[in-house]
Amino acid sequence: MKKGLKISLLALLLLLVIYAVLPSYLRNALTYYHANIDDYTIFENRKVPNSSVHPWPLSRAYNTTPLADTLQEAIETLDPVAFLLVKDGEIVHEQYWDGYGNQSYSNSFSMAKSIVGLLTGIALEEGYIKSLDEPVGNYLPAYQQGDNSQLTIRHLLTMSSGLNWDESYGSPFSVTTKAYYGSDLPELVNELQVIEAPGKEWKYLSGNTQLLALVLEKATHRRLSEYASEKLWKPLGASSPALWSLDKPDGTEKAYCCFNSNARDFARLGQLVLNKGKWKGQQLISPAYLEEALKPAAHLVDEEGAPVDFYGYQWWVVNYKGKAIPYARGILGQYIFVLPDKESVLVRLGHERDSEYIQHHPKDVYLYLDAAYSLLP
């Protein structure tokens, strides 16, 4: 055997040995490498059952007005799979790409955080949570001692926990990667430590939402998916069961990232917010909670010391031409926008979002809002 071939085989053997001894989450991270909108196919999932379907009516103007060529081209540069606009409770514009349709599953990524934010408001209204200023330690023993005992539910909601979570998406060794590809989310977040005074500085940490979900499960005595089904998915008349990805078989929901559904059903969440928590005459969420949740947490400062004017309770808020637009967002360009002045909801799903930011908001946020307003009378 030639010397070069022997060296190649030895190198390959060494790589295989190294791969075999890596932690399982690192092997998964190296195998799949990048997060994708169809990652529900590689994870275990728990169904979020639906019930009686409330079909979206189509407007008489449905798809009669095309987007301007410049807007259409700009939207398509970011590899979309869905673009859906609802006006006055009717679908007025709907487009799909890449083989996706109105029943295709797609990962919400961090839009799931906004769902957890809504469920927190419901649990508060129902009395499972006594106050947003209740200590997290009332529900999770790992947060009863030392600096961890300072942490409250409100701190988690507003991303001001001061926890030592590393929100890094590029490193295979970060806690975010371990959360996404690992198999024990409760252990991971129960090992976190408060290292900065909570309630002072806004810092986006997915671990906050995962902890919030554990609090909800302890408070309601239900799985997160079960509570979401009972309080949101069934009352909203979703067209299909959602899938919430888990850390392992019969495990814990990846609450911060991985609620999988379709554009039409995601739009129901936006319509619920637009309707101040009401759906077909039924009040699902307190209007007072929603008003507070969609208002920027201005008592906090961001990493540069500026007052927070862009984030509430797990919902983003963008100032678009003088209008405050609340929205949910995911890392690959998943968006639910609520347009109160037009009684409209916009959903965009896709494979990519703009890498450039304008005041904490990806630049494509403004592109989609431009497109929506161009279609609305």
Q: Are 330 and 324 in contact (CB under 8 A)?
A: no
For residue 301, list its beta bridge partners: 201, 307
Q: Are 246 and 86 in contact (CB under 8 A)?
A: no
For residue 243, list its beta bridge partners: 47, 260
pTM of the entire predicted model:
0.93
pLDDT at 196 over 60: yes
- 353 part of a folded domain: yes
Residue-wise pLDDT for 261-289, tens only, equals 999 999 999 999 999 999 999 999 999 99
User: In this predicted model, which residue has the larger pLDDT, 168 or 171?
Assistant: 168
Q: Span 254-258, mean pLDDT?
A: 97
Our count of domains for the chain comes to: 1
What are the start-end ranges of the H helices in 182-259? 185-190, 206-220, 224-228
User: In this predicted model, which residue has the larger pLDDT, 137 or 176?
Assistant: 137
What local confidence, expressed as pLDDT, does residue 28 receive?
55
Question: Residue 277: which residues within 8 A CB-CB, separation 6 or more?
Answer: 121, 283, 284, 285, 286, 287, 289, 290
pLDDT band at 173 (very low <50, low <70, confident <90, very high): confident
- 301 part of a folded domain: yes
Phi-psi region of 280 (alpha: psi -120 to 50; beta: other; left: phi over 0): left
What local confidence, expressed as pLDDT, does residue 264 receive?
98
pLDDT band at 149 (very low <50, low <70, confident <90, very high): very high
- 73 part of a folded domain: yes
Question: Residue 127: which residues within 8 A CB-CB, separation 6 or more?
Answer: none
Q: Are 193 and 164 in contact (CB under 8 A)?
A: yes
- Gyration radius from the chain CA atoms: 21
What local confidence, expressed as pLDDT, does residue 15 receive?
45
- 124 part of a folded domain: yes
Structure tokens, 252? 């814990």
Give the number of residues written for the chain: 377
Q: Span 112-124, mean pLDDT?
A: 98
Give me the CATH number covering residue 302.
3.40.710.10
- 249 part of a folded domain: yes
What local confidence, expressed as pLDDT, does residue 163 receive?
98
- 192 part of a folded domain: yes
Q: Are 125 and 113 in contact (CB under 8 A)?
A: no
- 14 part of a folded domain: no
Residue-wise pLDDT for 49-88, tens only, equals 999 999 999 999 999 999 999 999 999 999 999 999 999 9
Q: Residue 39, Cα to own-chain centre: how many angstroms? A: 14
Q: Crossing angle for the helix pair 206-220 and 111-125, nearest 10 degrees?
A: 30
Structure tokens, 285? 């969420």
- 202 part of a folded domain: yes
pLDDT band at 127 (very low <50, low <70, confident <90, very high): very high
Q: Which domain holds residue 360?
A: 44-101+108-375
pLDDT band at 375 (very low <50, low <70, confident <90, very high): very high
Q: Span 1-12, mean pLDDT?
A: 52
